[in-house]
Amino acid sequence: MVISYLGGECFKVSFGDTTLAFNPIGKDSQLKAAKFGSDIVLVSLDNQDFNGVDNATFGDREPFVVRGPGEYEVREITIKGFGSSSKYGGKEGLNSIYFVTLEGMNLCFLGALGTPDLPQEAKQELEDVDILFVPIGGDGVLDHAAAYKLAVKLEPHVIIPMHYGDIGGKDSLKQFLKEAGAEGVKAEDKLTIKKKDLEGKEADVVVLSH
């Protein structure tokens, strides 16, 4: 599996001949959007910064789109969505937390989560998280302190921060790394990882450049 960060809360996850996108940036967003082909698109919040399905559609490639809570299975990938709340953009909105199982690994994408209090149904399911994508920028989503506290509670092998810099607090990444005791972590262009690589990792923070 190869994970690339495209800014905001947008990630491209490639494995085999399949590409999955989390929260692609929309064409009406002020964030810089990348255009790429994807087979599966997961949108956690209906906001132009996260709902750019068109930007994850390339040529004749028509992605399978998930826009909210529920259970889905596509290309032997299991997806579970749980409703939560967000105040991103200045108003209360429905945010979906996604739990995705692929290549024997469990990915948890918190989206634009605005509260550390997870819904009960999510608490029951979010066990054995391998890779956690967590927003850290505040201003309607979790801030760096609440984000790290929740991340530790979920006990993932790997933590990937998102929603900072061009979209969240300017110093939120620096503050998050300090909170995690990971000030020395250097940004990587992409994360290439297999199930066996997770052995021995406990809440390891990985920063991806964009």
Q: Where do the structural domains in the chain lie, given as residue ranges?
A: 2-205
* Chain-centroid distance, C-alpha 150: 14
At residue 169, does pLDDT exceed 90? Answer: no
Residue 50, pLDDT score: 98
At residue 60, does pLDDT exceed 80? Answer: no
Residue 140, pLDDT score: 95
The first and second tokens of residue 22, run together, are 């989390």
- Average pLDDT for 65-74: 96
Output 121 or 80, whichever has higher pLDDT: 80
Q: How far apart are CA 170 and CA 132, in angstroms?
A: 22
Q: How far apart are CA 7 and CA 40, in angstroms?
A: 18
Answer whether 0.85 is exceeded by the pTM: yes
Asked if 85 contacts 115 with a C-beta cutoff of 8 angstroms, the reply is yes
At residue 166, does pLDDT exceed 90? Answer: no
At residue 170, does pLDDT exceed 90? Answer: no
| Confidence at 52, pLDDT banded by 50, 70, 90 | very high
Measured in Å, how far apart are the chain's first and last C-alpha atoms? 18
Residue 168, pLDDT score: 84
Determine the Cα angle at 128 with ends 67 and 97, to 5°: 20
Residue 209, pLDDT score: 94
Strand order in the sheet with 93-102: 70-74, 77-86, 93-102, 105-109, 131-135, 158-162, 204-205
Q: String of b and e for 141-164 (b: at least 16 CB within 10 Å)?
A: bbbbebbbebbeebebbbbbbbbb
| Confidence at 195, pLDDT banded by 50, 70, 90 | very high
- Average pLDDT for 179-203: 95
Residue 127, pLDDT score: 85
pLDDT digits (tens, 9 = 90+) for 96-146: 999 999 999 999 999 999 999 999 989 888 889 999 999 999 999 999 999
Cβ neighbours of residue 192 closer than 8 Å, sequence gap 6 or more: 1, 2, 3
Residue 125, pLDDT score: 85
At residue 62, does pLDDT exceed 90? Answer: no
- Which of the listed CATH numbers 3.60.9.10, 3.20.20.70, 3.60.15.10, 3.40.50.300 matches domain 2-205? 3.60.15.10
Residue 203, pLDDT score: 95
At residue 59, does pLDDT exceed 80? Answer: no
